[in-house]
A = this chain, B = another copy of it.
Amino acid sequence: MVTVSTSTAPVRSYHHGDLRSALVEAGLKALETTPLNDLSLRQIARDVGVSATAVYRHFPDKAALLSALAAEGIAQMAQQQRDAAATAAPAQAFAATGRAYVRWALAHPALFRLVFGQCQEVGQTVFGDNDAARMLRDYAQGITGDEAGAQRLMLQAWSLVHGLAMLMLDGQLPADDGLIDRVIDAETLFRT
């Protein structure tokens, strides 16, 4: 039988075209519904329609694939932070950024966990020299005045929102939107 498909139809031939991107995309989609620990390299490969070992042509191992997913997650988080800061009133921007942090975590639980569980061994750091970090440092500086105080304020704020996100993700606190607003409250926190 001669293959007459000189016509249209993406025949999905032996070579995929852009398998690497497809794997990352499939991985991110899987993380929307699958807990991080249940995410398997084989399942991602299956979703893309490719053999499990094909993954190794694009990533040295599973951890490397996860790192690629984490990098996407970090980018998404940073974007969310910027948006929240941009739309809030200046006086509220600091708190608004913190609430956005927690809400993003609740909206993407597995990816959030991956970001922080993964970039440890990669040596990557979420709050490195990206825009979000700079912006927060500026806010902190504006509130406290001195350098050391600003540094401490940033760490306290980051710890607060990160802890709140984690406790809600882990079911220790109800993942309640009103609770987020009450806990991350500029009136009662970090007043000079």
Task: Spell out A's residues near B (CB within 8 Å).
Answer: 37, 116-117, 119-120, 125-127, 149, 152, 155-156, 158-167, 170-173, 179, 182-183, 185, 188-189, 191
Contacts and interface: CB of A to CB of B under 8 A. Distances in A.
Copies of this chain, whole number: 2
A164 B170 contact: no
A159 B149 CA distance: 20
A126 B165 CA distance: 16
Contacts of A116: 166-167, 170, 172
A70 to B, nearest CB: 12
Contacts of A126: 172
- Taking chain A's interface residues, is the majority helix, strand, or loop, or is none over half, making it mixed? helix
Contact of A159 (B117, B152, B160, B191): B160
Contacts of A188: 149, 152, 156
Nearest to A122: B171
Contact of A164 (B117, B119, B163, B182): B163
A109 to B, nearest CB: 11
A179 B151 CA distance: 11
Contacts of A165: 163
B170 A183 contact: no
Given A116-B172, A163-B161, A172-B127, A185 B152 contact: yes
Contacts of A164: 155, 159, 163
Contact of A158 (B120, B163, B170, B185): B163
Contact of A167 (B117, B152, B159, B185): B159
A119 B172 CA distance: 8
A72 B82 CA distance: 42
B156 A189 contact: yes
Contacts of A127: 172
